[in-house]
């Protein structure tokens, strides 16, 4: 049987898990009402259970104590009995579909923020500052240690009383337990620091207290890291020793293993490996832990594909695979494996939109699946066929917004035609995928390509739609997702011209798409600081150019998320790309064979010049509105959206308006960058919420 | 002159026929013994012929009437002729009757002749082409020579030349119809066929509503008995007799899925091969469609030969040697029983094929392709896929299924079958569990105590593994108390119900469609109205032809609000999906794939969904590339339509449009 290793049930403690796939603990940033798991939270996990996930460990970094702030990341609050009925709802929703659910519990120690909510004083073994959150803390006192140990036990009791199947003690990501473990942070000389046993003591007391509270018939596991990757931190051998030490107590039912510590920006990037990493980059660390423990080991990190999961499980490296982002991208992944619909799985591409939002305290969303974590609003993962009239839907633009619009309309059962001027689908994704380390972003397009063909959408590639072609099809609905063009004309001094030979600047699109050849000595001016600028820099440097990337913002790549800018920086520094901030591109002029870029310091107004042979400007996108205005007046709804309906995920009222006869006039919607430049998720979200009621 | 000549002719024909008959009987008696009650069989013959056989023949009304006229006319004419012309009882009444009989026979012969004018491909040609003429010669000759008997013509009317011509006609007729009957002419079918009916090895199949479809067990304890059939003489004598009864009408050929797919099996030719074998010689005289052969259109006739004590299949297939039948012919059969169902002579093709497979598997170890691997798996793991025996319930890890070992006694034992290891079938099983729970059925499963039913092993000829599995299953079942077994697998259903009995296991077994129909009739299930598109139903061979269950699945579909668009081949004439008899395992190549043809039948019915009731059918039909219809098991359709009835409240009639499997049903 294909994928039999995945579908082999396993016992964790006294609990039977129906398969080997886990959605591991991650911060959802969904727990509202003071850290309660309300409707959104429950529906998010119910969808995973419905989709076949064996075990979900929810609530990454759910706090056990009042002085471990939860508000910053809307994490779950187990410091109060008020959580118990909410857990009951959560447990029922997951159990109803045969899934199991546990929660990660922790005290985050120094790894948090103090400057808000209760203005807590953060704690850590030796009061050493944590750099990622820029957080200072006090040295924890004996009384506080024992209080927190008690808090862990009470939190575990609440999880059990709420009907959850277990708890995972977080001793990973530099939370309080592993802050005690790591000599890098724990400099104590009392019974809580120094020797191995002393450094282990806090975690051991937590484990004993928790086990004593919940008894034997409740799962208690522990998540640890496989190697902190710091010379002064815990090595893999240290971690094996620690794992074996706790395992020997017989009080733990499983281990979760994450490769890499995460108390610096650079190690944090390892923890949730983005698309630049190879598959399962840290499996060997988890396998090392498995060698020394007697209970099941769970490992997540860049396991996205069922074949990969099968191979890992078959090889016996670990007992369960975490496919957490894989579930964020497609909560029905298991069901699709079982139905033999492997090609229909929306596979995580490692864009890390989810986790990068989380680190900003924003709710976790998927770059390519707008229904994820919006289940409570009624946004569907499986689009049902419409019971209403079959419509002729014409979509213009094969970027993410257009592809989603075509997919959703086709799933509704309509007759869909999609025009794309380029020879292939993808829009800006195709350009983005040209950069080194970014090729996997094209996975978004690949899925849509497969789905659109499967759904029988009439794909007119290499065809630029004009008003006449569109109206010839007698559409009932026209969806415009025509995107836009690089906005190089904002400042005439930049010397941009639509005639390539006369233009003094080129765009990052020109460079990445290969439309212009890479220069040898290049200045990139990046006013946006998102992916395009650093991608172009990485691309040009990769082609051998000397590159300086300049921005008037804080730093090049400043708006790229926390798990991805480090991998850019690794590459850019290695290729000796110069990153300069606080300079604006004032003017470009030609001098001899070269170009002179005049840069102005944001803060002093001082000018400086660079003599280069190519100036690349990243200044965002200017919407392409021509077709919209050509069609707007003829459309029945004048191109307008009913925002109240849109935001309430209700059908657009114009869809149900009576018409004199079928084919009499059309509705016009536009979405994505042709309205205003936003991002992939925004385009896909608009496409889904508008088209789901077609 | 005729008065002298006719008795001589008649009695010499009868005498020669008697000699021929004795010789023929001796050929049959080369077979192994078979305990059939001879006198009882002979006594049952008229009813078997006039009722059971006639039911089959009657499916073709014109042919049926033709046969009644011709055969009835002939039998009557022959008897009367012996009386009137042989014994000289020139009574006008007898003469009148003889005239009527020969006239009736003549009319029938005309229809026979008409059929032969442009005969369908399935009919054998050769000597069969002259049969209508012989029939006419006999009937015309007898009619004319009888005219004087009733005084229509004077006794001495006509010239001696006319008498000679008439005598020649009668000789021709007697030669074909009396002498030929016993000496291997086309009329042999009447002689062998009648005895075959009387001494049929499955006496239990006769009688209204009776069927006998379970394979007969090999006595593995009897060291003298061959393990299957190596040579024609290894068949029982009444099997040989059965082969000899073949009338070469080719109805089997017309319905055989393997033949239609261009696989090297023509059931009619196979039976004729057996006839060649029992008499000895080559197949050169065979005048029908050959066994198909890829690229060649058909295997050339005349290259195969056999003898009663010679091997049927050449001992070493690697050297390419030929004997009576090529092994690939035997392995092409899906055991769908369409041939047996259609055979007007009640020949048991499937028994014969499995008998010969038994030899190839048990004595020679020559089960082709994946066959050996599957049998090894069954021996090692008790399931054909070689899955860990302890993983039979993995699909239900989250369902908390009650184990009969814990309960000891339940109403319904849910038999999972090996579909429990198949991800597709697990969806059916989950749906079935949902239905059983909705109807609050008291049920349990054997779980890891269940073993493969032995169906595949048996059809692949591995009787030993079948019996081993069956005996162990019977031993397990004997520990528990249950009223009946329910299964969604018609193969398990058939084996448990019809083949375990011989080994001591007697159970009441229900196919899930039958059980669901019963639950619905008892008001224990309520369905929301059907909102999907057109639906057809594919009858699984092992449910339909093997067990006669055609109605329950249709009743369930009707209860769901579905109006079934029947395929042309449905009910007892349903076309096999290609999945039975281990055929997907032995995987003999053909020009086409059987499931593709079946999916085409579905397409022609205009259905967007084909309802099935068998894991094999589901697998085969779902394996069709670019299929036009979705394949859903009846259990899935029922589970989808279930409305839970809140106590005393109205039913919740919300329902998703049919057709899309939800994740929930899958996991």
Query: What's the average model confidence in pLDDT over A483-491?
Result: 96
- Quick one: how far is CA B570 from the chain centroid? 15
Check CB contact of B422 with chain A, cutoff 8 Å.
yes
Which pLDDT score is estimated for B665? Answer: 60
> Which phi and psi angles does A254 have, rounded to 5°?
-160, 165
Domain boundaries, position A48:
10-377
Closest Cα to residue A124, out of A145, A95, A103, A105? A145
Check CB contact of A342 with chain B, cutoff 8 Å.
no
Both B513 and B423 in one domain: the answer is yes
Residue A663 lies in a domain: yes
Confidence of residue B51 (pLDDT cuts 50, 70, 90): very high
Which pLDDT score is estimated for A564? Answer: 94
Query: What's the average model confidence in pLDDT over B513-523?
Result: 97
Q: Are strands A254-258 and A219-225 parallel, antiparallel or unpaired?
A: parallel
Residues B113 and B70 sit within 8 Å (Cβ to Cβ): no
Confidence of residue A1 (pLDDT cuts 50, 70, 90): low
Looking from the CA of B255 toward its CB, the CA atoms found within 13 Å total: 23
Both B547 and B446 in one domain: the answer is yes
Both A666 and A532 in one domain: the answer is no
Interface probe with A: pick from B398, B418, B622, B644, most Cβ of A within 10 Å: B398
DSSP, collapsed to helix, strand or coil, labels residue B392 as coil
Residue A383 lies in a domain: no
Both B603 and B656 in one domain: the answer is yes
Chain A: residue nearest B386 by CA? A1
Check CB contact of B663 with chain A, cutoff 8 Å.
yes
Domain harbouring A21, CATH code: 3.20.20.70
Both A40 and A163 in one domain: the answer is yes
Question: Cβ contacts (< 8 Å) between B662 and chain A: which residues?
Answer: 50, 382
Mean pLDDT over the full length of chain B: 92
* Residue of A8, A17, A384 lying closest to B391 (CB–CB): A8
Which pLDDT score is estimated for B294? Answer: 82
Which pLDDT score is estimated for B649? Answer: 42
Both A511 and A636 in one domain: the answer is no
Question: Cβ contacts (< 8 Å) between A51 and chain B: which residues?
Answer: 663, 667
Q: How many domains does chain A have?
A: 3
* Residue of A98, A334, A335 lying closest to B399 (CB–CB): A98
Both B135 and B70 in one domain: the answer is yes
Both B329 and B423 in one domain: the answer is no
With a pLDDT cut of 70, the percent of chain B lying above it is 95
Which pLDDT score is estimated for B657? Answer: 47
Residue B212 lies in a domain: no
Interchain pair B422, A18: CB under 8 A: no
Both B288 and B390 in one domain: the answer is no
β partners of residue B612: B633
Both A248 and A172 in one domain: the answer is yes
Both A165 and A81 in one domain: the answer is yes
Interchain pair A382, B661: CB under 8 A: no
Question: Cβ contacts (< 8 Å) between B663 and chain A: which residues?
Answer: 50-52, 332, 334-336, 382
Chain B: residue nearest A332 by CA? B663
Both B482 and B569 in one domain: the answer is yes
With a cut of 70, say whether residue B563 has pLDDT above it. yes
Residue A546 lies in a domain: yes
Q: Please tell me what DSSP assigns to residue B657.
A: P
With a cut of 50, say whether residue B321 has pLDDT above it. yes
Residue B371 lies in a domain: no
Residue A202 lies in a domain: yes
Question: From start to end of B237-344, where are the E strands?
Answer: 281-282, 305-306
The residues in B 200-259 lying below 8 A from A, measured between CB atoms, are: none
Domain harbouring B238, CATH code: 1.10.1060
Interchain pair A382, B663: CB under 8 A: yes
Which pLDDT score is estimated for B155? Answer: 66
Angstrom distance (rounded) from CA A579 to CA A555 = 7
Both A334 and A470 in one domain: the answer is no
pLDDT in tens, A409-435: 999 999 999 999 999 999 999 999 999
pLDDT in tens, A3-19: 989 999 999 999 999 99
Looking from the CA of A383 toward its CB, the CA atoms found within 13 Å total: 26
**Biggest CA pair distance of chain A:** 85
With a cut of 60, say whether residue B652 has pLDDT above it. no
CB pairs under 8 A between A and B: 68
Both B619 and B575 in one domain: the answer is yes
Cβ neighbour number for residue A586 with a 10 Å cutoff: 18
Q: Are strands A10-12 and A15-17 parallel, antiparallel or unpaired?
A: antiparallel
Both A450 and A594 in one domain: the answer is no
pLDDT in tens, B194-230: 999 999 999 999 998 899 999 999 999 998 889 999 9
Tokens of A197: 């046993």
Confidence of residue B1 (pLDDT cuts 50, 70, 90): low
Q: Which residues of B351-382 are buried (b: 16+ CB within 10 A; e: fewer)?
A: bbbbbbbbbbbbebebbbebbbebbebbeebb
With a cut of 50, say whether residue B653 has pLDDT above it. no
First-to-final CA distance of chain B: 90
Query: What's the average model confidence in pLDDT over B22-38?
Result: 93
Question: Cβ contacts (< 8 Å) between B421 and chain A: which residues?
Answer: 1
Confidence of residue A262 (pLDDT cuts 50, 70, 90): confident
Compute CA distances A202 → A205, A258, A548, B439, B567, whole Å. 5, 20, 49, 54, 73
Confidence of residue B650 (pLDDT cuts 50, 70, 90): very low
Inter-helix orientation angle B2-28/B237-244, to 10°:
130
Q: Final residue of a domain: which of A619, A640, A664?
A: A619
> Can you list the alpha helix ranges (DSSP code H) found in A51-82?
none
Q: Are strands B305-306 and B281-282 parallel, antiparallel or unpaired?
A: antiparallel
Residue B220 neighbours by CB under 8 Å, 6+ apart: B227, B463, B464, B467
Both A340 and A232 in one domain: the answer is yes
* Residue of B399, B656, B667 lying closest to A51 (CB–CB): B667
Chain A: residue nearest B392 by CA? A8
pLDDT in tens, A18-62: 999 999 999 999 999 999 999 999 999 999 999 999 999 999 999
Residue B93 lies in a domain: yes
A381 vs chain B: nearest CA distance in angstroms?
A: 10
Mean pLDDT over the full length of chain A: 95
Residue A167 lies in a domain: yes
Q: Final residue of a domain: which of B148, B167, B198?
A: B198
Cβ neighbour number for residue A348 with a 10 Å cutoff: 28
Check CB contact of B426 with chain A, cutoff 8 Å.
yes
DSSP, collapsed to helix, strand or coil, labels residue A591 as strand
Interchain pair B397, A17: CB under 8 A: yes
Residue B207 lies in a domain: no
Check CB contact of B427 with chain A, cutoff 8 Å.
yes
Q: Final residue of a domain: which of A586, A619, A652?
A: A619
With a cut of 80, say whether residue B319 has pLDDT above it. no
* Residue of B397, B422, B656 lying closest to A384 (CB–CB): B656
Question: From start to end of B430-559, where are the E strands?
Answer: 443-445, 481-487, 509-511, 535-537
Both B393 and B348 in one domain: the answer is no
Domain boundaries, position B399:
376-666
Interchain pair A8, B422: CB under 8 A: no
Interchain pair B667, A387: CB under 8 A: no
With a pLDDT cut of 90, the percent of chain B lying above it is 81
Question: Cβ contacts (< 8 Å) between B391 and chain A: which residues?
Answer: 4, 8
Residue B368 lies in a domain: no
Both B19 and B130 in one domain: the answer is yes
Which pLDDT score is estimated for B182? Answer: 85
B599 vs chain A: nearest CA distance in angstroms?
A: 19
Which pLDDT score is estimated for B377? Answer: 97
Residue A387 lies in a domain: no
Cβ neighbour number for residue A607 with a 10 Å cutoff: 13
- B182 versus A143: the higher-pLDDT residue is A143
Residue A667 neighbours by CB under 8 Å, 6+ apart: A476, A477, A478, A635, A636, A637, A652, A654, A655
Residue A81 lies in a domain: yes
Instruction: Assign 3-class secondary structure to A501-515.
Output: HHCCCEEHHHHHCCC
Q: Which residues of B34-61 are buried (b: 16+ CB within 10 A; e: fewer)?
A: eebeeeebeebbeebbeebbeebbeeee
Check CB contact of A3 with chain B, cutoff 8 Å.
yes
Q: How many domains does chain B have?
A: 3
ipTM: 0.83
Angstrom distance (rounded) from CA A90 to CA A76 = 12
> CA quadruple B59, B61, B62, B68: dihedral positive or negative?
positive
Which pLDDT score is estimated for A473? Answer: 95
Residue A4 lies in a domain: no
Both B339 and B384 in one domain: the answer is no
Residues A282 and A259 sit within 8 Å (Cβ to Cβ): yes
Both B339 and B381 in one domain: the answer is no
Residue B305 lies in a domain: yes
pLDDT in tens, A179-209: 999 998 999 999 999 999 999 999 999 999 9
Both A344 and A433 in one domain: the answer is no
Interchain pair B387, A334: CB under 8 A: no
Domain harbouring A518, CATH code: 3.50.50.60
Confidence of residue B243 (pLDDT cuts 50, 70, 90): very high
Lowest mean pLDDT among A377-391, A580-594, B156-170: B156-170
Confidence of residue B655 (pLDDT cuts 50, 70, 90): very low
Which pLDDT score is estimated for B651? Answer: 45
Confidence of residue B177 (pLDDT cuts 50, 70, 90): confident
pLDDT in tens, A119-168: 999 999 999 998 888 899 999 999 999 999 999 999 999 999 999 999 99
pLDDT in tens, A447-476: 999 999 999 999 999 999 999 999 999 999
With a cut of 90, say whether residue B183 has pLDDT above it. no
């Amino acid at each position: 049987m294909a994928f039999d290793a995945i579908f082999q049930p396993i016992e964790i403690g006294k609990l039977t898990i129906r398969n080997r796939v886990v959605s591991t603990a991650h911060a959802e940033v969904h727990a509202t009402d003071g850290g309660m798991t309300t409707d959104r939270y429950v529906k998010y996990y119910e969808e995973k259970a419905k989709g076949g996930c064996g075990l979900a460990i929810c609530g990454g970094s759910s706090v056990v104590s009042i002085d471990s702030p939860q508000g910053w990341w809307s994490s779950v609050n187990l410091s109060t009995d008020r959580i118990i009925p909410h857990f009951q709802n959560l447990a029922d929703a997951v159990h109803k579909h045969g899934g199991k659910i546990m929660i990660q519990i922790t005290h985050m120690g120094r790894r948090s923020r103090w400057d808000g909510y209760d203005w807590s004083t953060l704690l850590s073994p030796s009061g050493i500052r944590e750099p990622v959150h820029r957080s200072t803390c006090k040295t924890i006192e004996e009384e506080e240690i024992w209080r927190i140990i008690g808090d862990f036990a009470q939190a575990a009791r609440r999880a059990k009383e709420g009907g959850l199947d277990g708890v995972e003690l977080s001793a990973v990501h530099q939370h309080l337990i592993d802050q005690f473990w790591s000599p890098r942070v724990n400099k104590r000389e009392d019974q809580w620091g120094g020797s191995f046993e002393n450094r282990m003591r806090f975690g051991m007391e937590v484990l004993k207290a928790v086990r004593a509270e919940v008894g034997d018939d409740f799962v208690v596991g522990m998540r640890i890291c496989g190697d902190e990757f710091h010379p002064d931190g815990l090595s893999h051998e240290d971690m094996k020793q620690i794992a074996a030490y706790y395992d020997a107590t017989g009080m733990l039912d499983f281990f979760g293993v994450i490769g890499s510590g995460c108390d610096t920006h650079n190690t944090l990037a390892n923890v949730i490996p983005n698309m630049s990493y190879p598959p399962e980059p840290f499996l060997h660390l988890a396998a090392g832990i498995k060698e020394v423990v007697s209970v099941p080991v769970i490992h997540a990190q860049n396991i996205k594909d069922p074949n990969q999961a099968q191979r890992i499980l078959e090889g016996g490296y670990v007992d369960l695979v975490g496919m957490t982002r894989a579930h964020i991208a497609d909560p029905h992944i298991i069901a699709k494996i079982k139905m033999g619909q492997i090609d229909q799985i929306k596979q995580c591409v490692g864009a890390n939109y989810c986790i990068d939002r989380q680190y900003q305290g924003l709710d976790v969303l998927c770059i390519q699946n707008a229904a994820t974590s919006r289940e409570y609003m009624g946004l569907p993962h499986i689009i049902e066929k419409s019971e209403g009239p079959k419509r002729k839907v014409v979509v213009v633009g094969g970027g993410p917004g257009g592809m989603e619009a075509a997919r959703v309309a086709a799933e509704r059962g309509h007759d869909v035609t999609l025009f794309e001027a380029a020879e292939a689908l993808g829009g800006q994704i195709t350009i983005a995928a040209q950069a080194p380390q970014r090729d996997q972003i094209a996975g978004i397009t690949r899925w849509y390509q497969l789905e659109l063909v499967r759904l029988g959408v009439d794909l007119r590639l290499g065809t630029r739609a004009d008003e006449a072609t569109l109206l010839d099809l007698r559409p009932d609905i026209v969806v415009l997702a025509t995107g836009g063009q690089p906005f190089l004309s904002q400042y005439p001094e930049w010397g941009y011209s639509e005639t390539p030979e006369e233009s003094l600047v080129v765009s990052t699109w020109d460079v990445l798409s290969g439309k212009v050849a890479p220069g040898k000595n290049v200045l990139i001016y990046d006013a946006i600081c998102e992916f395009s600028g650093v991608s172009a820099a990485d691309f040009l440097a990769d082609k051998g150019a000397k590159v300086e990337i300049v921005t008037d913002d804080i730093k090049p790549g400043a708006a790229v998320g926390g798990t991805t800018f480090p991998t850019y920086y690794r590459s850019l520094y290695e290729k000796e790309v110069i990153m300069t901030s606080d300079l604006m591109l004032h003017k470009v002029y030609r001098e001899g064979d070269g170009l002179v870029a005049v840069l102005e310091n944001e803060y002093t107004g001082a000018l400086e010049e660079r003599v280069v042979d190519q100036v690349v400007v990243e200044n965002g996108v200017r919407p392409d509105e021509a077709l919209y205005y050509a069609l707007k007046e003829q459309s029945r709804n004048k191109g307008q959206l009913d925002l109240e309906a849109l935001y309430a995920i209700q059908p657009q009222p114009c869809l149900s308006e009576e018409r004199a006869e079928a084919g009499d006039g059309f509705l016009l919607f536009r979405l994505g960058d042709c309205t205003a430049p936003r991002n992939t998720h925004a385009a896909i979200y608009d496409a889904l919420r508008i088209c789901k009621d077609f | 002159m005729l008065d002298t000549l006719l008795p001589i002719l008649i009695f010499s024909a009868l005498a020669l026929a008697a000699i021929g008959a004795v010789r023929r009987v001796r050929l049959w008696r080369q077979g192994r013994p078979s305990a059939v009650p001879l006198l009882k069989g002979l006594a049952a013959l008229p009813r078997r012929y006039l009722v059971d056989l006639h039911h089959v023949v009657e499916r073709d009304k014109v042919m049926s009437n033709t046969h009644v006229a011709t055969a009835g006319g002939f039998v009557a004419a022959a008897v009367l002729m012996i009386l009137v012309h042989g014994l000289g009882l020139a009574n006008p009444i007898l003469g009148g009757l003889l005239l009527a009989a020969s006239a009736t026979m003549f009319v029938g012969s005309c229809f026979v002749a008409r059929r032969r004018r442009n005969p369908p491909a399935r009919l054998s040609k050769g000597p069969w082409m002259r049969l209508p003429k012989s029939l006419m010669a006999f009937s015309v000759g007898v009619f004319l020579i009888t005219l004087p008997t009733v005084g229509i013509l004077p006794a001495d009317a006509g010239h001696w030349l006319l008498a000679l011509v008439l005598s020649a006609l009668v000789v021709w007729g007697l030669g074909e119809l009396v002498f030929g009957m016993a000496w291997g002419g086309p009329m042999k079918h009447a002689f062998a066929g009648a005895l075959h009916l009387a001494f049929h090895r499955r006496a239990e199949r006769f009688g209204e509503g009776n069927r006998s479809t379970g394979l007969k067990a090999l006595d593995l304890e009897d060291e003298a008995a061959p393990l299957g059939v190596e040579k024609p003489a290894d068949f029982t004598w009444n099997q040989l007799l059965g082969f000899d009864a073949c009338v070469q009408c080719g109805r089997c050929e017309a319905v055989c899925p393997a033949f239609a797919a261009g696989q090297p099996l023509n059931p009619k030719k196979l039976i004729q091969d057996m006839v060649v074998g029992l008499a000895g010689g080559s197949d050169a005289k065979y005048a029908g469609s050959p066994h198909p052969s890829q690229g060649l259109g058909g295997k050339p006739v005349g290259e195969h030969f056999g003898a009663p004590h010679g091997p049927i299949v050449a001992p070493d297939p690697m050297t390419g040697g030929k004997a009576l039948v090529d092994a690939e012919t035997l392995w092409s059969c899906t055991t769908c029983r369409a041939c047996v169902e259609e055979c007007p002579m009640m020949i048991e093709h499937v028994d014969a094929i499995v008998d010969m497979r038994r030899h190839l598997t048990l004595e020679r170890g020559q089960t082709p392709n994946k066959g050996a691997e599957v049998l090894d798996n069954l021996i090692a793991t008790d399931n054909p896929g070689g899955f860990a025996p302890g993983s039979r319930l993995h699909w239900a890890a989250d369902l908390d299924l009650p184990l009969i070992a814990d309960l000891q006694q339940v109403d319904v034992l849910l038999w999972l079958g090996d579909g429990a290891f198949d991800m597709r079938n697990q969806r059916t099983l989950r749906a079935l569990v949902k239905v059983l729970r909705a109807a609050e059925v008291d049920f349990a499963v054997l779980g890891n105590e269940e073993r493969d039913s032995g169906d595949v092993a048996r059809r692949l000829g591995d009787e030993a593994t079948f019996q081993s599995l069956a005996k162990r299953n019977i031993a397990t079942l004997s520990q528990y108390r249950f009223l009946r077994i329910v299964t969604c697998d018609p193969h398990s259903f058939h084996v448990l119900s019809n083949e375990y009995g011989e080994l001591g296991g007697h159970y009441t077994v229900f196919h899930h469609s039958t059980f669901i129909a019963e639950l619905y009739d008892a008001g224990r299930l309520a369905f929301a109205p059907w909102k999907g598109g057109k639906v057809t139903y594919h009858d699984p061979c092992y449910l339909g032809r093997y067990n006669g269950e055609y109605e329950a699945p249709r009743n369930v579909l009707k209860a769901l609000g579905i109006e079934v668009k029947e395929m042309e081949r449905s009910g007892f004439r349903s076309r096999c999906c290609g999945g039975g008899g281990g055929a997907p395992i032995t995987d003999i190549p053909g020009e086409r794939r059987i499931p593709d043809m079946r999916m085409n039948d579905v397409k022609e019915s205009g259905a967007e969904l084909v309802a099935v009731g068998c894991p094999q059918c589901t697998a085969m039909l779902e394996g069709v590339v670019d299929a036009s219809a979705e394949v859903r098991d009846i259990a899935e359709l029922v589970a989808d339509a279930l409305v839970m009835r809140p106590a005393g409240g109205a039913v919740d009639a919300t329902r998703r449009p049919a057709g899309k499997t939800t994740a929930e049903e899958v996991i």
